[in-house]
Amino acid sequence: MGLLDGKIAVVFGVANHRSIGWQIALAFAQQGATLAFAAQERVLPEVQKLAATLGEPAVFPCDVQNDSDVPAVFAALGERYGGVDAVVHSLAFANREDVSGRRFVDTSRAGFLLALDVSAYSLTLIAQAAEPLLAARGGGSIVTMTYMGSERVIPNYNVMGVAKAALECSVRYLANDLGPKGIRVNAISAGPQRTLAARAIAGFPDMEKHVATHAPLRRNVEGQDLGSAALYLCSDLGRNVTGEVLHVDGGYNIIGM
């Protein structure tokens, strides 16, 4: 028996095999979940190729900056499955120039709004559309991905740190709103991962080396570690956990110097 046998899970934000969302999808599939994916049109062929390795998961085009796309995904999921049990939000974006050496104080209004819209508001938009489908299954779990740049200054992370702080605050408010329906909302604060988005951050390889050298466990996190954490939060193992930010970073977040 898998921890997610009979469960329906939808993953937003897979771009390629390095995506955290994909690592979570692999963990869910291994534990019996039926999967669906929602991704931007430009990466849809790659996501369809990956999804095919797990059988025949549904793959939907979705731009979270388009107010009609997210409801359309959940409408299709409702028709196909009647409800969902888990939603993974693995989405973040900022203009390259805003995370490539520019000071945070020089962030433009447009750059600020873009980062907050895609990286933070999209969680609320997804939660709105997911609520009735999660409730139809008696509750469920929403998990999003964050990073320690929300808590302290990380060189070059800049506006993404502000967006992640807004995301984490959203987790708490959403957990409170949706809790009465048995819907849990949590975040995983991951150590550095070589995702498409991370490679845009100036000095990212140095960040990886620093964490591996200074984290209490003296190593970087792997994708399967994040998949296991999401599995915990979306299965009955985490049935009484909501509104939390779970650090999966080798303990680096506890270090002061």
Active site residue ranges: 147, 157
| Number of Cβ atoms within 10 Å of the Cβ of 50 | 22
Greatest Cα-to-Cα distance within the chain, rounded to the nearest angstrom: 53
Q: What three-state secondary structure class fits 78?
A: helix
* Residue 58: φ, ψ to 5°: -70, 140
Using DSSP bridges, classify how beta strands 58-61 and 183-190 pair: parallel, antiparallel or unpaired: unpaired
Tokens of 241: 């956990």
Residues 6+ apart with CB under 8 A from 19: 13, 90, 195, 196
Closest CA to 150 of 160, 141, 139: 160
Q: State which H helix or E strand residue 135 sits in.
A: helix 122-136
Distance in angstroms between the alpha carbons of the first and the last residue of the chain:
44
* Residue 76: φ, ψ to 5°: -65, -40
Tokens of 36: 């669906």
Closest CA to 187 of 216, 148, 221, 155: 148
Closest CA to 221 of 248, 201, 245, 243: 248
